[in-house]
Amino acid sequence: MKSIKGEVTIPFVHPIYVRCVLDCLNNRGVRPSEVLASAGLAWQDLCDGKPLLDFSVFRRFVAHAIKCSGEPALGLIAGSMILPYHSPVGIAAVTSETLGQGLQFVNKHANLIFRSMDFHMENGPRWSTIRVRPLRPLCETHVFVMQSIVGAHCQLVEAILGRPTDELTVGLPYARPAGTDVPCLRYVRKVEFDQKYLTLQLPTQLLSERAPSADAKAFEAAAQDCRTMEAELGHVEFIQRVKQALLERLTTNPELSDLAPDLGVSSRTLVRRLADADLTYSDMKDGLRKTHAAWYLEHTELSIEAIASQLGYNDHTNFSRKFKDWYRVPPSKMRQALRSSRH
């Protein structure tokens, strides 16, 4: 998976969702490999067990997917293709006792599919309302993501109930699209635009309807899988936070004790949590320096001395010595090789 220097790493979407979008594209005659390559992705990035895709990568993927398909409602269609058995979240939902239990579970664990989104469910006397609020700007993917969540919930409600239903009312946080064809109207009873948040509303009495595929043992097994995934994801996100904090202060060559307070942990806790991932602070710092040193050499005109300073070295000779340990060539030779490879 390719990243761009300066982009903040934000784990955002599960690979299973991207695979569903690729299925949509394939059905429309678009070669998925071309979209993957344009977004800096490879098929191995989408395998089960892989971490969530970064938001920066997801943005590029969405842009190319919509452009290649020519389908403004691609997010809605892709969302409706996420079948429950694709993930432990969906398996737990369809094996819940009732629709209400299934939807509550999905809202509690939805961050395993879409990170950085807040799902909140309220049950009133007549209506049950799910509100979905992004925790950070979604930029140009906003409509795409909102459509996806609508499509996924339509599919999920039918899967839990074991029958088609058209009782969902949707409020969309964007303007009504131009033209008379509103794709959402094919999936739900009523759609309202220009809402503050995405809302999905069902009659409260429907929540007590029993799911025909209810299975207590299967539900608990899937729920345990979700808890394990969340623990692993939390660990990965902490490591990403450490890397980002270190990257922002790399020019000052911060010590571990300097960085730990910014992360809200003690120095001892930071050492322990890095050790849990088979990492040390010095190895992480060296890894960032190694990667960024090569980037500066290839993409900037900075002198070796300036690059050394950017990476927190007071003495550029120490940087050059370390660089030769990393790449087996001096920085000047690496710069020549990188530039000659362009021609």
Using the structure block, give the residue that is written with the tokens 């450490």.
Answer: 242
Q: What is the pLDDT of residues 234-254, one digit of tens each?
A: 887 788 889 888 988 999 999
Q: Report yes or no: 272 and 311 within 8 Å, Cβ to Cβ.
A: no
Amino acid symbol at 93 = A
67 burial (CB, 10 Å; 0-12 / 13-18 / 19+) is: exposed
User: What span, in angstroms and rounded, lies between the C-alpha atoms of 152 and 288?
Assistant: 38
Q: How do the pLDDT tens digits run along the chain, 343 residues long?
A: 444 344 446 788 888 889 989 998 998 899 998 899 888 888 888 887 777 888 989 999 999 999 999 888 899 888 888 888 888 999 999 999 999 999 999 999 998 888 889 999 999 999 999 999 999 899 999 999 999 999 999 999 999 999 988 889 999 999 987 765 656 555 688 889 999 999 999 999 999 999 999 999 999 999 999 999 888 888 877 888 898 889 889 999 999 999 999 899 999 999 999 998 888 999 999 999 998 998 899 888 999 999 999 999 999 999 999 999 999 999 999 988 887 766 5
Q: Report yes or no: 75 and 143 within 8 Å, Cβ to Cβ.
A: yes
